[in-house]
Chain A
Amino acid sequence: MADFLLEIGLEEIPARMIAGAEAELGRRVGELLTRERLLGAGGKVTTYSTPRRLAVRVEGLALAQPDTEEQLVGPSWKVAFPNGEAGPAAVAFAKKAEVEVSALTKITTVKGEYVSATVERKGRTAAELLAAELPKEVLSIYWAKNMYWRAGKPERFVRPVRWLVALLDSAVVPLEIAGIAAGNQSRGHRILHGDSPVAIGAPGDYPEALRRAFVEADVAARRHKIRKTLDHVTRAITETPGARWREDEALVDTVVHLTEWPTVLYGSFEAEYLALPEEVLVTVMRDHQKYFAVEDVQGKLAPHFLTVLNTQVDDEGRAIIRHGNERVLRSRFKDAQFFWETDQKIRLEDRLELLESVTFQKELGSYAWKTAKNVEVAQVLAARLKANGVVEFDETALLSAVQLAKVDLTAELVKEFTELQGVIGGLYARAQDLGETVAEAIYSQYAPASTDDGIPSTIEGQLLGLADRMHTIVAMFGIGNAPTGSKDPFALRRAANAVVKILAESLLPLTLTNVISSVQGTEEALLHVKAFLEERLSFYLKDVYGYAYDVVNAVLAANADDVQDAVMRAQALTVVRGSEDFLAISAAFKRMKNILHQASEKGEKIPKHGVQVSLLVQPEEYQLFTVSGDLAAEVDNLREDGNYVGAFEVIATLRPVVDAFFDKVMVMAPEPELRAARLALIQSVLDGFSGIADFSEIVVG
């Protein structure tokens, strides 16, 4: 058994791509070696990465593939051996198979007798195989964006490959990738170690040899060190007793992939900047500088930050680096403050006319136009809600919020921090005393930004979010910008996901039809949008809530308009679907549906209204008629109360009756009238119970 190591040395790989590439390298190498019978169940694949390298170590590798015997099949025996003597076909086949003619044998297959040769296949050594196959695997790694670097050479990779280490135990494997020949020399940290090569004696020495050269190649170890040091350094912030770094998993991930030898230091900024909104401060620190924010025991932002360095310095160096980082942050905050103050010179209301020159969509109009449309939609929704009277809201505040929702697009601060649109508008509305309801609605208009983000906390915010997105979706569909396949350049799926999520998780008594019909649009566009939203609802139930696809199909086949109701029905159906009676009744409903389908294919007329009871002749069918009628009434009552689990349980009690029916009754009776009566009966049973869910969609067994 041998131990193998491959390290690909690169110029700095984008942080966001490293984890995926590291995993893919491990998978590709593992699969290659398994496929080539060099790696069995006892083997172990370990991967490493830093910004400048991807590496994989394989333990328990066979030094060579086992030799194998392969049976080759040639021409038919009669052709090869006419009259029992070897003819030209036999000679040719033997030559191709590299055996003597005398070694050819006869095999019998279903197609007849054929010539066969048994050949020995010598296994390749691990070194040969790796040298031949590994480069292709490495160059096939997927990168979100790659480049070429050698003149006239076809290879594309994320960044130029600069060195390679490939060791089988302590021997170099002679492989080459993009013109670089493998050796046993790696490189250490750019600054802390410098240019001198780092010799790797054997695969097992790899992580330790790199550690001596100030590179921690084990990603988990680096992450652990960063977290621990963040904790440790935060405790040193004596100016803010009880300080904590603000947990930010995505940022931890980023700095893990930006460093080879991480250390942490903290810096401070002038407390006056705390007068800027926290959202702005955190965005500058996190998104622009990759700093962790620090908060005090109350969770309020403190005037400090933590930065993860890719080096290790003495006290003097630390002072220099801290000073530098503080300078940068101060100038960024000063910028933000400048924008904030400049923006305040124009009140939000006065920005409305500026929206005339901000285009919403070329074919449609400006954001001033968009705002007017949003107001119209919001008015329709408001009128409907008032008529329903289920929830209370402040209509005046809602309409002001809709009116002012987009004006922050003209603010300097939003031009600088586009990720804060809406948030900035809300903050300005608050600063300008436009009322908390208005401010909060504007602030949260883009929530939820993703399926795991929360919905706006107020009715007004929810309505603003719905009106804006529904108008956008309908208008975009109207000009042919609906998403297709994987293309969704206007993020309409995300908008529709948010609509569904708001309808599902708010108290708003609105259906999909309600929100769609609140927007002006051609009938065709509205129908198209309806199907689109239903598809998003299905996605939401399956992928966000995790309901089984057949449950979702059953629920939506019955009714896909009331989102909250669909969620409740999916929930109830999930609870009951496992019971034996329920599965049996689902199977029975499916059978009924099939019978009806086949009958109508054959041109049978299925009476839609009423069962001719007098025509039913067998006790089982009469019983199905009466029991199902009674149960349907009971189910209706339970549905009214929203007790869907109860309703499903009642439906399941129909099982013995249905079983008896199918045991004894032949629906497709030869007499036309009887046949029609029976078809009408099962149609009415299906109709009576399919309002909550179409059980025929449930997959049994």
Chain B
Amino acid sequence: MAPVPLTFQELLFRLQKFWADRGCILQQPYDVEVGAGTMSPETFLRVLGPKPFRVGYAQPSRRPADGRYGENPNRLFKHTQFQLILKPPPVNVQELYLESLAAIGIDLSRHDLKFEEDNWEWPAGGAWGVGWQVMLDGLEITQFTYFQQCGGLDLDPMCAELTYGLERIAAFLQDVDSIYDIVWARDPETGNVVTYGDVRLPEEVQFSVYNFEFAEVDKLWEHFRLYEAEAQTLLNKAGALFKQEDADVREKKRFPLLAAYELALKCSHLFNLLDARGAVSVTERVGVIARIRALAVGVARAYALQQVS
């Protein structure tokens, strides 16, 4: 008899255990809206500088424009990425990755696996890398990136970023056609199941309604401006502080760049909401992305200085 496939939460446990056993810190999801696991400071900021770092975390990623009111079986406004940063990557990083697939119950001798070129880029974050989409029987299950630059800075050492699409993998393992049918958890005593739909469908519906219909464009722009201004004020102060050669090292170390980064992330999410509302023309888009980029890159530069001070 074929083994019972992992539930959604078991899938996450297995990945976390696998990578924890290989020296990764397990972090909790970052509690600010992000569009991708990369944008969490656990990746965006920690990849900067020379310090080795290994971390794994499941990150809910919100993309308002991808919402489908819960009606499309394959698309979500919010999906969950298991994000992994290996800095620097071990030489056998690909083999480790394949072992992690075995750990979640994929017998590779029974499947077709390909690493197909897929380079990754987040222009607003000045971040990019080269890599692959890992295709399992024609399904993209992971984005595997050798991160080369972040915040416009060259990474030395560079790192490997593995992003597992948890919903996709779970639907594949459980062989269900709709994300909402994924078994999230199973009661070990009764065998009763709770599905992904039970847990998340109302959220998909209500946030689609909010993102597409109710979010007030004027207010969103206003929030954007407020957060941007606050972030910019912090960056200006950081700029002045880090330029001062005789500044107190402690003052530098305690400067709240992490707060500035959160404000930049809020701007990024507001921009995505405005986009979902159809409120950003293509002309404006370039300009707004440049504004977010100025914040993100500004934080990254200051953060790099803060690390060496």
Contact = CB atoms under 8 A, between A and B. Distances in A.
A258 B135 CA distance: 11
Contacts of B278: 357
A191 B139 CA distance: 18
Contact of A324 (B98, B132, B136, B285): B136
Contacts of A191: 108-109, 113
B112 A311 contact: yes
B111 A335 contact: no
Contacts of A152: 156-157
Contacts of A11: 94, 115
Contact of A334 (B74, B89, B110, B136): B74
B114 A258 contact: yes
A338 B138 contact: no
B148 A148 contact: yes
A324 B113 contact: no
B116 interface: yes
B139 A328 contact: yes
B115 A331 contact: no
Most buried by A among B112, B130, B132: B112
Interface stretch (A312-320, A543-551, A661-669): A312-320
A289 B138 contact: yes
B148 A324 contact: no
Given A11-B94, A14-B117, A324-B137, A151 B146 contact: no
Interface in B63-121: 68, 71-75, 88-89, 91, 94-95, 98, 108-117, 119
Q: Which of A16, A147, A358 has the most CB of B within 10 A?
A: A147
A313 B157 contact: no
Contacts of B146: 147, 149, 160
Contact of B282 (A323, A329, A330, A359): A359
Contacts of B12: none
A31 to B, nearest CB: 28
A145 interface: yes
Interface string B138-178: 11000000101000000011100000000000001001010
Contacts of B109: 191-192, 313, 317
A485 B168 CA distance: 45
Given A51-B115, A148-B148, A310-B114, A327 B177 contact: yes
Interface in A414-450: none
Contact of B137 (A15, A195, A320): A320
Contacts of B113: 190-191, 310-311
A23 interface: no
Given A310-B114, A313-B110, A331-B73, A324 B281 contact: no
Given A149-B146, A289-B138, A324-B136, A258 B116 contact: yes
Contacts of A358: 281-282
B261 to A, nearest CB: 25
A355 to B, nearest CB: 11
Contacts of A15: 116-117
Given A15-B116, A338-B68, 18 more contacts: A14-B117, A147-B129, A147-B158, A151-B156, A162-B91, A191-B109, A191-B113, A258-B116, A290-B116, A310-B112, A316-B110, A317-B110, A324-B111, A325-B112, A329-B138, A335-B74, A358-B281, A362-B282
Interface of B: 50, 68, 71-75, 88-89, 91, 94-95, 98, 108-117, 119, 129-130, 132, 136-139, 146, 148, 156-158, 172, 175, 177, 278, 281-283, 285-286
Interface of A: 11-12, 14-16, 51, 145-152, 159-160, 162, 190-192, 195, 258-259, 289-291, 307, 309-311, 313, 316-317, 320-321, 323-325, 327-331, 334-335, 338, 357-359, 362, 366
8 contacts: A145-B119, A151-B157, A290-B116, A311-B112, A317-B109, A324-B137, A328-B138, A338-B71
